[in-house]
Structure 1
């Protein structure tokens, strides 16, 4: 019986019951060494087996933490025959993990998606429990894949339990903290051992509620050892470890050798441990004393330590030469080249080119399997024993791998260490690319741009392709950091290299305020890419640059088309990590198109992936998209909260959302002050805030201070004309009318709005025209545009704007109750339900939808089951007849 764990056991039981019922989930059992994590995990495994669940177990091993996918191999090895049922890219990713297929350097999250699909398929036959013990020692690639899958469990009959100490990062997964036992439960653990009351009390107090310490201190007492004499007092786990060391020290020399080898071997493979031990003079008979002492259990496959602290004690008590000898013997006995390389490195002190080369080869294999954290560790380990010229190359490779793993801090540290050894221009340029990403993720886009611009001349002649890519990236960073000089240099150097880029040239002109030259250049770039892309497979950098240009000039249709093409390409290739930035642009385009619920769905998916990739900055940028939706809908508190975390590069956009919210609620003076402060920062903010000129004009008109917007409206008219977007020209016409231009400008605005684009701006023009007609004492003419405005505002859930339209309708004698304001059925769906039903309505199967949205087939069908009654339909055929754009 597990004492004092009633609450924890009940939580695990609920998890298993939910999984049986088709509501999968995951949990982390977290606590210190000896607190009872494994005991609880064993109880869950026993309970699951009794329920007929399929049980899959893996254990993190400290010695294997640098071996990419070492943990996942444990999970997948007995399931190899099930991989054929997965979509081909996912099956290939898992075969690469197992070494059963040629590596293909997949996206690092494709493996996690494949694990999710595999578990979901297994659960179709019987509920599944995955138990990951000592998860804090899992290699990062395995932990990442398992967590990616665990966070996405919904309607699958799958439960995942991680048992881990502090240091295992599992954001988004619920936790069960394991606290130390209280005095009564501690005494119950010790009951029946024949301890005298004084000894029992002393052991109870010294163990401080740690279950392993209670058992070990009691066993020590049985051997005549008195606990509690440690001065100064050590943490309880350190005292348990010291006790294990003493017990190992008491064993014969051959037994100590064999335990050292077993502790040094990550997999504790019996045959390999025995082979290495024989090389050191120990044999199978030497295991007997350790077994009788209760320190290990031996089977035909494994040497299992009773507790990880026993292995730690067996290793730490050995002298350094003994450890080196054990690692060398294990390297000779290993049948895995990566494992052998790690053991040789553990025994190396002085530079050793041969061992370094073996580690570097292991790192390359890790890269091929997208085990980027492991690759970074292996490259860095190789650098430790390499001579100076080679050390710089290996550290640079380690930094690049760390960046691919999403560890910006480690990448920066490794790049700094590599810098003194970077003697050739290509190496320095490679380090500059790494540092530029680090700086950008830290919010210093200007420094990132300058790093790239400064390092391209040296490689322009030898590696023009890389130099051009660096300059295009620098242009993007320069745009976001208000650095006209860096943008101009990037454009000039691309032209000098014979690789002139109209998009970059356009940005360089626009950042200087020359919209008449800059916007047509960007428009030409967009048109060229749209004409040429034709469904190009895989991720496409030109498509991404065109997408950014479309966002800048307000070409919403092109932005939507380019974003959807890039999303489709990323999904098809399994490039999960690339999706957040594309989904962000997609969400912006959807919002501008008035499809708020779909925009929220894209943001939700991007945010989940950004969380998995550790891109906190991306999360802040996604919040700004939601801030605009909140602004339109009039939710001041939510808008302010979402805008509050804006980064340097999207602070202007956050300000624009707040200005829009101010105008919607009639806070006109505040809107003008906020916009003036944002524009004061200058640079590209002027372009980002250009569309906010409509809010500035309306606020100035309401305050009867047209002079506060006149000059900015002149610039906006040039911008709108240069970009050629009908919606922008319509807004410019409306603004001119608001500043006294007359009815002809309203008529021009509405005619331009009829060409499509930005329905919220169309509704604002209708409202402004209706208000103008009412003030001109033409109530009959005012009713039609006001009714149309109200219908649009209600559809967009733009509450403050809808209320203004209702008030105007009442003023012209047309009660607002006459307007149909019924909620759209789509508004009843969650963001993910909306994504699923739209794809289902297009005719995609559940399996196809799951592959596109990184969900299991069962979860897709679960979402459909929940969505049908909300939409008033009963089948996919009926879905196809609904208007799901919202």
Structure 2
């Protein structure tokens, strides 16, 4: 069939198919008003695929308004022809489990949200390895959000696959019949990264050719009127001709006063349905059923009095097409006319009949629940309970938008305010989990007005606090959590404890010592005491002890160890040990344990907790939790002198961010943005170490651009390290002093930067400004027993104390360094000791220290520090190696995803595992390796091991 006037659109579709058949697939969205010709373009693509050869596989699905709230309904319709047991078994086990769970074939987990999209990608990649694949999806505007999200995930990752995804969406929708309007759901037409083509009205010449093709021999006057009134709208033109009698076409009879022009097409279809009384009920049932099976539709229609010939009569009238598995409406407007043109009482009866049929079959309780909801005239607890169960089922399948919609509708049908509040709470929890924080806050506020139940209000406070945290208001979040934790201490201890754990992290993040103490006071009243509740008290006690140490540190020499310091650290250590070795607890508990391990200065515990939690997040695809964990893990590697490991994490974060960038754009902290910030902050720290002013500031600006936070928690310390390396000592000192003034928690968080503050103060000629912070650090280092901290404390004492004891303190510091694993700090101690020895004219003793420091700085890429060591070597008469030319970084020519793929491949990770970790298809992993090998000057995967041995990846 010739598509008149659609040359540009056909060229776009043909280009998509040609690129896909050549192995460079992609997606295209056709978007425009009803009847403009989008479906015909999809049909033409299918014809082109068939003429391209019998080896092209075509998969097709159409969204329906009745199924817009059913989890993964459209995706199942698209993939049903290829969902064989063998295909599913060929997928990686976690992906197969996620896909089976999404389609209700197996138990599912909420953690499968992103893994489901990855499973679809892998399935299509496997199919494409056998033959090119064309996926056609019509009426995208009515896709259920879970299907829309999965398809968008796939659409952005087809560049290396012989797969084409052609979508069509209508602008300007009528209301959905069986679906409750769900404000806040992701817009299915918001498809970032997918190009769009908008078919326009036909030109007069093209419209004339279409009319002549469909109705040759029209009377000229009739032809002119049809062209004028259709205004280039293809469907209007075709339906206008269809509505005319032979005499009207020949000009022998007057034309109707109202032809089915674009604004009246719906009415024209309604009139045609009214002319088929024997089929009217069956068409209504089919419209209400959405994608229901023909047998199910016939049975429901029969219960309403329709005869067995009803659907065949509609097919003979050209309104539907019947197959063994579906009833296809000729056009979506026919479906809308059948539903919206019916009497409201008939619509209710149709939904009730469909619900009964599905309940008797027993296979699709969620679908039946939505039909009951569509038929409910008002609040109905039985229907609300069914929808609540549907919401829980959707949650387990990772269909979060569908879960929220069902919970919202269940709330609307709940007769009792308490039940309505509970169900709104469920919807709010789903929304905040998926990053839709604005929607979550709105739902939580609505629920809070309906209940005085302390437990429900406490859970609502968690949602509202998450909204505040994301908005940059951790103090408000902590107060909310505390206010709702206290009433629950005696009645609902588990909820109270969860509130307190969150409050402790928010209060500490806010740097508010008073608030931290308030959290500790409330946590101390939990009876019996829980291990989680000991942490806030210990954190508050630690903050107070450090403040006392600072206050007394400038007046007493030596400063006394404040009361409570040892006890607070012992409590923190007991909590961390329990989580690490005995009872890992929830994700929140493990994050709190990692925070406490940082406060203990326990590098081993931080690394172990962060490594294990990152593995959990990757294995479960819980990317919403991944950014914070990866940042902690990268920092742990940097302190251990493993910049390559930190760079690998940065590459993973950046590559994963790129992979997730198109997933259901959220109004809140989208994981892609947060992962980008993680990569940027790691890059900033590395650049600071290297003395790269421009790179460091650009990376921090990049992080601020995606989070709204000017520097992030690590910003002041990163910029101070940059300034110190470049000799800007006063500026480094001011940065750290300003950051510490934020409060005792901030000062505690900056404890590891005390060595920078002391050196900056000494070199700026104001050592007295370091006295109080050093007193607190020294007390803390002694109480923790951490060798690296004791070494830094002794180094700082050597810099600030009496000169006659400096050498003794430097030597003692080096002894502690040997029991630690912070090479950068050890090299700094060696450099400063070497400088002191040179000034004391003990050059022979200084040389090995300076050489070792120089070698370490070079290995770590700390250029300004290496230059200082080199200058000191020259001063002691050593043959100092000149600054080596910066080695060409072979990875500089790789893209972010190529770097991530290469690093994982070099570590021995299989292609399928790399694909799962980076949310790519295995074929895309192969493609990235294929592109990377020539850039790296190697020819195979085996040679990556050589690069790894050289320390490059």
The alpha-carbon deviation at position 809 of structure 1 amounts to 6.9
The answer on whether the counterparts of 1:445 and 1:649 sit within 8 Å (CA) in structure 2 is no
The answer on whether the counterparts of 2:202 and 2:233 sit within 8 Å (CA) in structure 1 is no
C-alpha distance 170-294 of structure 1, shift in aligned 2 (>3 A): same
Q: Does the alignment pair 1:601 with 2:651?
A: yes
C-alpha distance 686-560 of structure 1, shift in aligned 2 (>3 A): same
C-alpha distance 561-802 of structure 1, shift in aligned 2 (>3 A): same
C-alpha distance 728-197 of structure 1, shift in aligned 2 (>3 A): farther
Structure 1 residue corresponding to 2:477, chosen from 448, 461, 469: 448
C-alpha distance 359-524 of structure 1, shift in aligned 2 (>3 A): closer
Q: Counterpart in 2 of 1:38?
A: 39
Q: Does the alignment pair 1:61 with 2:64?
A: yes
1:670-749 correspondence runs (5 A): 670-736=731-797, 744=807, 747=811
Structure 1 residues 193-202 or 23-32, which shifts more? 193-202
Q: Counterpart in 1 of 2:945?
A: 879
Structure 2 residue corresponding to 1:654, chosen from 709, 715, 718: 715
Q: Does the alignment pair 1:303 with 2:327?
A: yes
Q: Counterpart in 1 of 2:174?
A: none
Residue 119 of structure 1 aligns to a residue whose secondary structure is helix
The answer on whether the counterparts of 1:539 and 1:569 sit within 8 Å (CA) in structure 2 is no
The answer on whether the counterparts of 2:431 and 2:440 sit within 8 Å (CA) in structure 1 is yes
**Hey, what's the Cα distance between the residues in 2 that align with 1:407 and 1:105?**
16
The answer on whether the counterparts of 2:300 and 2:353 sit within 8 Å (CA) in structure 1 is yes
C-alpha distance 798-531 of structure 1, shift in aligned 2 (>3 A): same
**Hey, what's the Cα distance between the residues in 1 that align with 2:647 and 2:367?**
50
Structure 2 residue corresponding to 1:87, chosen from 83, 88, 92: 92
C-alpha distance 559-240 of structure 1, shift in aligned 2 (>3 A): farther
Q: Counterpart in 2 of 1:507?
A: 539
The alpha-carbon deviation at position 296 of structure 1 amounts to 3.2
Q: Does the alignment pair 1:137 with 2:168?
A: no
**Hey, what's the Cα distance between the residues in 1 that align with 2:132 and 2:629?**
36
The alpha-carbon deviation at position 346 of structure 1 amounts to 0.9
Structure 2 residue corresponding to 1:320, chosen from 319, 322, 344: 344
Q: Counterpart in 2 of 1:641?
A: 701
The answer on whether the counterparts of 2:905 and 2:941 sit within 8 Å (CA) in structure 1 is no
Q: Counterpart in 1 of 2:403?
A: 375
Q: What CA deviation, in whole Å up to 9, does each residue of 1:697-733 have, x standing for no partner?
A: 4544454444444443443444444444444444445
Q: Counterpart in 1 of 2:516?
A: 487
1:805-884 correspondence runs (5 A): 817=882, 819=884, 821-823=886-888, 832-833=897-898, 835-837=900-902, 839-841=904-906, 843-868=908-933, 870=936, 872=938, 874-876=940-942, 879=945, 882-884=949-951
The answer on whether the counterparts of 1:590 and 1:599 sit within 8 Å (CA) in structure 2 is no
Structure 1 residues 296-305 or 830-839, which shifts more? 830-839
The answer on whether the counterparts of 2:531 and 2:575 sit within 8 Å (CA) in structure 1 is no
The answer on whether the counterparts of 1:838 and 1:884 sit within 8 Å (CA) in structure 2 is no
C-alpha distance 625-636 of structure 1, shift in aligned 2 (>3 A): closer
Residue 130 of structure 1 aligns to a residue whose secondary structure is strand
The alpha-carbon deviation at position 653 of structure 1 amounts to 2.3
Q: What CA deviation, in whole Å up to 9, does each residue of 1:600-626 have, x standing for no partner?
A: 124225535775474526534524344
Q: Does the alignment pair 1:464 with 2:493?
A: yes
C-alpha distance 798-430 of structure 1, shift in aligned 2 (>3 A): same
1:381-530 correspondence runs (5 A): 381-388=409-416, 389-495=418-524, 496-497=526-527, 498-501=529-532, 502-512=534-544, 514=546, 516-517=565-566, 518-530=568-580
Query: Bigger radius of gyration, 1 or 2?
Result: 2
Structure 2 residue corresponding to 1:120, chosen from 125, 131, 135: 125
Q: Does the alignment pair 1:264 with 2:288?
A: yes
C-alpha distance 88-249 of structure 1, shift in aligned 2 (>3 A): closer
The answer on whether the counterparts of 1:395 and 1:417 sit within 8 Å (CA) in structure 2 is yes
The answer on whether the counterparts of 1:156 and 1:858 sit within 8 Å (CA) in structure 2 is yes
Give the alignment's Cα RMSD to 1 decimal: 4.2
Q: What CA deviation, in whole Å up to 9, does each residue of 1:436-489 have, x standing for no partner?
A: 333323333223223332223443344433332332222112211224344334
C-alpha distance 407-170 of structure 1, shift in aligned 2 (>3 A): same
Q: Does the alignment pair 1:627 with 2:663?
A: no
Residue 616 of structure 1 aligns to a residue whose secondary structure is coil
C-alpha distance 310-733 of structure 1, shift in aligned 2 (>3 A): farther
**Hey, what's the Cα distance between the residues in 2 that align with 1:162 and 1:865?**
30
C-alpha distance 784-34 of structure 1, shift in aligned 2 (>3 A): farther
The alpha-carbon deviation at position 267 of structure 1 amounts to 0.7
Structure 1 residues 198-207 or 688-697, which shifts more? 198-207
**Hey, what's the Cα distance between the residues in 2 that align with 1:198 and 1:772?**
104
Structure 1 residue corresponding to 2:386, chosen from 358, 361, 368: 358
The alpha-carbon deviation at position 844 of structure 1 amounts to 4.6
Residue 272 of structure 1 aligns to a residue whose secondary structure is helix
C-alpha distance 33-585 of structure 1, shift in aligned 2 (>3 A): farther
**Hey, what's the Cα distance between the residues in 2 that align with 1:339 and 1:798?**
62
Structure 1 residues 386-395 or 608-617, which shifts more? 608-617
**Hey, what's the Cα distance between the residues in 1 that align with 2:592 and 2:120?**
33
The alpha-carbon deviation at position 377 of structure 1 amounts to 1.6
TM-score by length of 1: 0.86
The alpha-carbon deviation at position 11 of structure 1 amounts to 5.0
1:511-550 correspondence runs (5 A): 511-512=543-544, 514=546, 516-517=565-566, 518-532=568-582, 541-550=588-597
The answer on whether the counterparts of 1:494 and 1:500 sit within 8 Å (CA) in structure 2 is no
Q: Counterpart in 1 of 2:635?
A: 588
Structure 2 residue corresponding to 1:566, chosen from 610, 613, 630: 613
Structure 1 residues 260-269 or 43-52, which shifts more? 43-52
The answer on whether the counterparts of 2:28 and 2:197 sit within 8 Å (CA) in structure 1 is no
Residue 351 of structure 1 aligns to a residue whose secondary structure is coil
Residue 113 of structure 2 aligns to a residue whose secondary structure is coil
C-alpha distance 529-430 of structure 1, shift in aligned 2 (>3 A): closer
**Hey, what's the Cα distance between the residues in 1 that align with 2:817 and 2:434?**
46
C-alpha distance 16-716 of structure 1, shift in aligned 2 (>3 A): farther
Q: Does the alignment pair 1:74 with 2:77?
A: yes
The alpha-carbon deviation at position 299 of structure 1 amounts to 3.2
